Amino acid sequence: MAQALRNIVRNHFMEKLRAGQVVSKLTIRISRSIEIAHIAKSCGFDALYVDLQHGLLSIETTSQLCIAALGVGITPLVRVPGTEYVTRVLDGGAMGVVVLDVRCVADVENAIAQCKFEPVGKRSIGGGLPQLQYREWPQAEMVEVMNEATAVLVQVENTAALDCVEDIAAVPGVDVLMIGTNDLCASLGVPGQFGHNSVRDAYKRVIAAARKHGVYVGVGGISDRKIVAEYVKLGARLVSMGSDISLLMSSGTDRAQYAKKLNDEMTAQ
Structural domains of the chain ordered from first start: 2-267 (3.20.20.60)
Give the tens place of pLDDT for each residue, 32-76: 999 999 999 999 999 999 999 999 999 999 999 999 999 999 999
pLDDT of residue 235: 98
Could you give the CA distance from residue 68 to residue 35 in angstroms, rounded to a whole number? 8
**Three-class SS state of 99:** strand
| 54 in active site | yes
| Residue 140 pLDDT | 93
What is the mean pLDDT of the segment spanning 8-23? 96
237-258: average pLDDT: 96
- What tens digit of pLDDT does each residue of 102-119 get? 999 999 999 999 999 999
pLDDT tens per residue, range 143-177: 999 999 999 999 999 999 999 999 999 999 999 99
Q: Which among 40, 10, 53, 32 has a CA at the least distance from the CA of 178?
A: 53
Contacts of 10 (CB under 8 A, 6+ apart): 149
The mean pLDDT value of the chain amounts to: 96
- Taking CA atoms, 145 is separated from 2, 92, 173, 236, in Å, by 7, 17, 14, 27
Question: Which ranges constitute the DSSP H helices of the chain?
Answer: 2-8, 12-18, 35-43, 59-72, 86-91, 105-115, 139-149, 159-163, 165-169, 181-188, 197-213, 225-234, 244-267
Taking a C-beta distance cutoff of 8 angstroms, is the pair 49, 24 a contact? no
pLDDT of residue 41: 98
Residue 182 has pLDDT above 90, yes or no: yes
Active-site residue identified among 12, 38, 54, 196: 54
Peptide bond into 119 cis (omega under 30): yes
**3-class state of residue 51 by DSSP:** strand
Instruction: Say if CB 49 and CB 77 are below 8 A apart.
Output: yes
Q: Is the separation of the CB atoms in 220 and 181 below 8 Å?
A: yes
Q: Band the pLDDT of 254: cuts 50, 70, 90.
A: very high
Quick one: pLDDT at residue 1? 61
- 264 backbone dihedrals φ, ψ, rounded to 5°: -65, -40
- The whole-number pLDDT of residue 82 equals 94
